[in-house]
Amino acid sequence: MNKSELIKEYEGFRSLGLKLDMSRGKPSAEQVSTVEKLLTAVTSNAQCFSETGSDCRNYGGLDGINEMKRLFGELLGVGPEQIIVGGNSSLNLMYDTVARSMLHPVEDGCKPWSKYDRISFLCPVPGYDRHFAICEYFDINMINIPINDQGPDMDMIESLVASDETIKGVWCVPKYANPTGISYSDNTVRRFARLRPKAKDFRVFWDNAYVLHDLTDTPDEVLEIFSEAKKYGNEDMFFEFMSTSKITYPGSGISCIASSERNIKRILEALKIQTIGHDKMNQLRHSKIFHCYEDVAKQMRVHMNIIRPKFQAVYDAFAAAFEGIEGVSWTKPNGGYFITLTLPNGTAKRTVELCREAGLVITPAGAMFPYGIDPDDSKLRIAPTYPLLDEVKIAAKLLACCANIAICEKQA
């Protein structure tokens, strides 16, 4: 299509008075309705007891009920003794872990991170905006690390952490990363497992938010990090996170942190100051509908069947609209919640603007980069899960139309 045809198409979209939102990776109403049995998993006083007989309505159980620790252990491939069950948000646990590290030493003989003039985190990009927001909130300097189809640039990570003692952390989403959808290769996981950082209190934030969130029948497999790290005596270097936000309810699921037994002990020492325990009734409800890995896997297949057509609708719209357009590509991940659209440099922001004017909200260009700055202004994050399928079809066509207009304008 030439520019005037594109503008005509765009005006057609504008006249529809659309109100579409593809900005955040949220499960749809249909998805959250698939676990109605959770709402009635516990219906009487007699059912409020965990397997050890503890009363889940009452105080106690700082690390969570056994059933839930065992289930998370199974989902992540670690022992229950490596798990602390949290509240409804793993992001909350990540925030707390950074906050604790700012205020108290992460390791014996080290000082709290806040006692340094300046500390840095390595940030594989494009990445999850809320990871970067945590760093910004705590005034932690962020260093961009490029990602390829195997994971982050490990040469760069190895050399930076080996030489700079003020680098204290790295954000990782090892499976179906937000927003690229890539999964770490075995080699990448092993290189993380054997990192030799200069800082004794360097930590890897292994955010396994999409560990079970497959979109194909040939899912990616990622090595379990603690068994790899143990081979190098490095298991204390990892904090792993996950939640049931995109398994049951984002607003009322269960999260966990997994780490070495030594770290878990250390975290519990601090956690007991913070709370007497998280919501055990919700843990109990979850453990009553999910007894083992296969129960959760079954639920994930239900999600997959709802989500998959929405991803396909985006691929179809993009394939039709971008045929023969140079410098445009998009990811087709085997799982996760996002598609990353790469446009010619200098066109992403303008595309978002055009979308907004026509009633489609997408994630702001730059949001997937530290400080909101995409140096190339070329990446867009597409989150197709929340709208209805018919809405996704329209939104993807509109988005592609806007991108093509932005490309024409740039070339003019």
Ligand X SMILES: Cc1ncc(COP(=O)(O)O)c(C=O)c1O
In terms of CB distance, is 134 or 328 closer to ligand X?
134
Check residue 364 and report its DSSP letter.
P
28 touches ligand X by CB under 6 A: no
378 touches ligand X by CB under 6 A: no
Shortest separation between residue 209's beta carbon and ligand X, angstroms: 4
In terms of CB distance, is 9 or 207 closer to ligand X?
207
Shortest separation between residue 386's beta carbon and ligand X, angstroms: 11
> What long-range pairs does 325-334 form, CB within 8 A, spacing at least 24?
325/404, 325/407, 327/407, 328/403, 328/407, 330/382, 331/180, 331/181, 331/182, 332/181, 333/176, 333/180, 333/181, 333/182, 333/215, 334/176, 334/181, 334/183, 334/214, 334/215, 334/216, 334/218, 334/219, 334/220
Of residues 28, 101, 245, 299, which one binds ligand X by CB under 6 A? 245
Answer for the pair 386, 334: CB distance below 8 angstroms, yes or no: no
In terms of CB distance, is 90 or 260 closer to ligand X?
90
Sketch the per residue contact string, 162 through 201, with ligand X: x for CB under 6 A, - otherwise. -----------x----x-----------------------
In terms of CB distance, is 94 or 317 closer to ligand X?
94
Shortest separation between residue 114's beta carbon and ligand X, angstroms: 24
Answer for the pair 87, 282: CB distance below 8 angstroms, yes or no: no
Of residues 64, 73, 250, 370, which one binds ligand X by CB under 6 A? 250
- Copy the structure tokens of residue 35: 């676990």
Shortest separation between residue 208's beta carbon and ligand X, angstroms: 9
Residues binding ligand X: number (CB under 6 A): 13
Which of helix, strand or coil describes residue 255? strand
Sketch the per residue contact string, 53 through 92, with ligand X: x for CB under 6 A, - otherwise. ------------------------------------xxx-
Shortest separation between residue 89's beta carbon and ligand X, angstroms: 3
243 touches ligand X by CB under 6 A: yes
Shortest separation between residue 321's beta carbon and ligand X, angstroms: 27
Which of helix, strand or coil describes residue 211? coil
The CA distances from residue 272 to 105, 157, 268, in Å, are 17, 34, 6
C-alpha span between 146 and 124 (Å, rounded) = 6
255 touches ligand X by CB under 6 A: yes
Shortest separation between residue 180's beta carbon and ligand X, angstroms: 11
Spell 180-197 as b/e; 16+ CB within 10 A means b.
bbbbbbeebbbbbbebeb
Site for ligand X in 99-128 (CB under 6 A): 128
In terms of CB distance, is 64 or 344 closer to ligand X?
64
Which of helix, strand or coil describes residue 12? helix
Sketch the per residue contact string, 8 through 27, with ligand X: x for CB under 6 A, - otherwise. -----------------x--
252 touches ligand X by CB under 6 A: no
Site for ligand X in 300-359 (CB under 6 A): none
Residues linked to residue 238 through DSSP beta bridges, in sequence order: 204
- Closest by CA to 404, choosing from 331, 310, 318, 314, is 318
C-alpha span between 82 and 51 (Å, rounded) = 19
Check residue 87 and report its DSSP letter.
S
Of residues 67, 207, 236, 240, which one binds ligand X by CB under 6 A? 207
Stretch that binds ligand X, among 55-63, 66-74, 243-251, 297-305 (CB under 6 A): 243-251
In terms of CB distance, is 7 or 99 closer to ligand X?
99
Shortest separation between residue 10's beta carbon and ligand X, angstroms: 30
- Closest by CA to 69, choosing from 309, 297, 319, 242, is 242
Identity of residue 73:
G
209 touches ligand X by CB under 6 A: yes
In the Cβ-directed half-sphere of 155, how many Cα atoms lie within 13 Å? 2
In terms of CB distance, is 74 or 96 closer to ligand X?
96
Neighbours of 1 (CB within 10 A): 14
In the Cβ-directed half-sphere of 45, how many Cα atoms lie within 13 Å? 0
Shortest separation between residue 371's beta carbon and ligand X, angstroms: 18
Give the footprint of ligand X on this chain (CB under 6 A).
Answer: 25, 89-91, 128, 173, 178, 207, 209, 243, 245, 250, 255
